[in-house]
């Protein structure tokens, strides 16, 4: 465990750039406190100091009127908007893939649920005036690569997505300014999509009349074109597309599997389920390897892009090892399946297991 500025005790996965994972017990609350919110950067030159008085968000490219907006402009010239949304790294839970895949070996803590406040991207683009023929919008922050050859971290969205009224430029999370390590002073919020699009220390928005082909869209963060396709180490998909929507997934948060629980006593099992805004219809547990399933209690919904907490009161009868499984079903009736491996360890979405020692 380490401590970084504005952060609580976190698990350090890499230090240059910093990648910090949230301890699992922090997930026993609706919102993930800013000081425990995971941290993930790609380029080692991240911003550690910003003068907010001179900071500007630049909007350019295929617009009628390029803009340079101060923080004060964002807070006074636009209506404030707020949304609860889960930010989850595409590589969350990668460390649990079997066979192992290269990349940061995250447990389940590369995600967090927050209430974001800021300005609708649609309103900012309307002020700039998007020119006819616009296709893509790109986003870049103030972080830089140490070597000239490393591609800048630039992400893009289709224009239709950018102006859907949900994508937001956020200046607050959970009622506070963003911690520096989470992209202060501005972060793009793309509800329902993996956090690779949630560009932090956001400084440049560019409207393009063609398709953006940058490294971080066309080479990195690729998934199989057919989402149902299972890759295996010796059978990799030939056609890939940029990752997008958050996959349906559910995880255990309690009990802590390293500690035994008591036979004949009530044991609270709890966890999280989430997806891309489709919503969670039910979460079920199995104690017999998937033969029968028991419905858990869902906590109230906090918003369609929020995670959903679930709970189950279990009274284990006798001592022994118990093998638990959890699966979620979304509001379209789609239930998590058993296996889904991919070479990059992205978008983990299959049924999770927990071995509990009852004594
Ligand atoms: N400027 C910038 N924004 C970025 C990144 C980055 O490297 N640079 N990484 C992205 C990825 S992959 C993730 S998972 C999230 C992590 O956000 P956090 O550090 O606030 O948790 O930021 C996204 N936005
Ligand atoms: Mo990520």
The domain segmentation of the chain, as residue ranges, is: 2-220, 249-358
Contact (Cβ atoms closer than 8 angstroms) between residue 47 and residue 98:
no
Counting ligands in written order, which one lies closest to the CA of residue 111? 1
How high is the mean pLDDT of the chain?
96
What backbone torsions phi and psi does residue 13 show, to the nearest 5 degrees? -100, -40
pTM: predicted TM-score of the whole model, two decimal places = 0.97
Q: What is the pLDDT of residue 318?
A: 94
Q: What is the CATH number of domain 2-220?
A: 3.90.420.10
pLDDT in tens, 35-84: 999 999 999 999 999 999 999 999 999 999 999 999 999 999 999 999 99
CATH of 249-358, one of 3.30.1300.10, 2.60.40.650, 2.40.30.10, 3.40.50.2300: 2.60.40.650
Q: What is the pLDDT of residue 35?
A: 98
Q: What is the pLDDT of residue 1?
A: 83
Q: What is the pLDDT of residue 228?
A: 80
Q: Is the pLDDT of residue 230 over 90?
A: no
Q: What is the pLDDT of residue 2?
A: 86
Q: Is the pLDDT of residue 148 over 90?
A: no
Among 17, 41, 223, the mutation site with the greatest number of ligand 1 atoms within 8 A of its Cβ is: 41
Q: What is the pLDDT of residue 227?
A: 81
Q: Is the pLDDT of residue 100 over 90?
A: yes
**Residue of the CA atom closest to atom 10 of ligand 1:** 196
**Residue of the CA atom closest to atom 8 of ligand 1:** 41
Measured from the Cβ of residue 289, the count of other Cβ atoms closer than 10 Å reads 10
Q: What is the pLDDT of residue 34?
A: 98
Percent of the chain with pLDDT over 70: 100
Q: What is the pLDDT of residue 125?
A: 98
**What six digits make up the tokens of 253?**
């948060």
Measured from the Cβ of residue 34, the count of other Cβ atoms closer than 10 Å reads 21
Name the pLDDT band for 103 (thresholds 50, 70, 90). Answer: very high
CA angle, residues 327, 254, 328, in degrees to nearest 5: 15
Counting ligands in written order, which one lies closest to the CA of residue 346? 2
Q: What is the pLDDT of residue 94?
A: 97
Residues with Cβ–ion distance below 5 A, ligand 2: 89, 196
**Residue of the CA atom closest to atom 19 of ligand 1:** 39
Q: What is the pLDDT of residue 147?
A: 87
Q: Which atom of ligand 1 is nearest to the CA of 42?
A: 7
Q: Is the pLDDT of residue 303 over 90?
A: yes
Which residues form the pocket of ligand 1, taking CB atoms under 6 Å from any ligand atom? 37-42, 87, 89, 141, 143, 153, 182-183, 195-196, 198-201
CA angle, residues 20, 172, 107, in degrees to nearest 5: 20
Spatial CB neighbours of 44, under 8 Å, sequence gap ≥ 6: 16, 17, 145, 146
Among 171, 200, 203, 246, the mutation site with the greatest number of ligand 1 atoms within 8 A of its Cβ is: 200
Q: What is the pLDDT of residue 309?
A: 98
Measured from the Cβ of residue 37, the count of other Cβ atoms closer than 10 Å reads 26
Percent of the chain with pLDDT over 90: 94
């Amino acid at each position: 465990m380490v401590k970084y500025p504005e952060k609580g005790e976190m698990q350090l996965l890499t230090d240059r750039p910093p990648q910090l994972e949230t301890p699992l017990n922090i997930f026993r609350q609706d919102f993930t406190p800013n000081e425990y919110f995971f941290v993930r950067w790609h380029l080692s030159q991240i911003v550690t100091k910003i003068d907010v008085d001179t900071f500007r968000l630049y909007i350019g490219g295929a617009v009628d009127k390029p803009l340079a907006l101060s923080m004060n402009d964002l807070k006074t010239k636009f209506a404030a908007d707020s949304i609860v949304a889960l930010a989850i790294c595409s590589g969350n839970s990668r460390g649990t893939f079997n066979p192992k895949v290269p990349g940061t070996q995250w447990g389940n803590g590369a995600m967090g649920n927050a209430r974001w406040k800021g300005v609708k991207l649609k309103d900012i683009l309307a002020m700039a005036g998007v020119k006819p023929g616009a296709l893509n919008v790109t986003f870049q922050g103030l972080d830089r690569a140490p070597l000239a050859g490393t591609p800048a971290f630039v992400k893009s969205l289709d224009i239709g997505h950018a102006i859907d009224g949900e994508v937001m430029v956020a200046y607050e999370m959970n009622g506070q300014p963003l911690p520096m390590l989470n992209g202060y002073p501005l972060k793009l919020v793309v509800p329902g999509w993996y956090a690779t699009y949630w560009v932090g220390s956001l400084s440049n928005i560019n409207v393009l009349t063609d398709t953006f082909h940058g490294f971080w869209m066309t080479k990195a963060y690729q998934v199989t074109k057919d989402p149902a396709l299972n890759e295996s180490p010796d059978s990799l998909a030939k056609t890939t597309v940029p990752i997008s929507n958050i996959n349906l997934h559910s995880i255990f948060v309690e009990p802590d599997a390293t500690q035994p629980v008591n036979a004949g006593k009530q044991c609270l099992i709890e966890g999280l389920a989430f997806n891309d805004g489709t919503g969670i219809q039910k979460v079920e547990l199995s104690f017999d390897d998937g033969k029968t399933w028991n419905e858990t209690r869902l906590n109230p919904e906090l918003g369609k892009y929020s995670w959903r907490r679930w709970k189950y009161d279990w009274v284990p009868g006798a001592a022994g090892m118990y093998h638990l499984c959890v699966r979620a079903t979304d509001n379209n009736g789609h239930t998590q399946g058993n296996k889904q491996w991919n070479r990059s360890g992205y978008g983990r979405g299959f049924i999770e297991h927990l071995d509990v020692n009852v004594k």
